[in-house]
Amino acid sequence: MGNSRDTNLNTTDLNRIIEMAWEDRTPFEAILVQFGLSEQEVINLMRKELKPGSWRLWRARVQGRVTKHALRRSNLVGRFKCSRQKAISLNKISKRAGNK
């Protein structure tokens, strides 16, 4: 990466960034907010930290993925809710069972 932010990362932060970068539904913007690393800086970090084969797999997986970019996933609002979630949360039997 070549900047001072790279040297400020401890092992825990580095591991968390790599984990977040691998997660399909964690956008690069979340890494930027939490750690101050841009998408390009994350790419450079992953290149530096991963084995060559893992790097190629990760790049192929992330390249063009809508869920890795918050602005591109705006049309996916509600995607993470189960289609039955409202019905389950309004289930009166389960609410009564917890109040006994």
Number of domains the chain contains = 1
Question: How crowded is the C-beta side of 35, counted as CA atoms within 13 Å?
Answer: 28
* Global model pTM greater than 0.75: no
Q: For each of the chain's 100 residues, which pLDDT tens digit applies? A: 445 455 578 999 999 999 999 988 888 989 999 999 999 999 999 999 999 999 999 999 888 777 777 665 455 444 444 555 455 444 454 444 555 4
Give the residue numbers spanning the domain of 73.
4-99
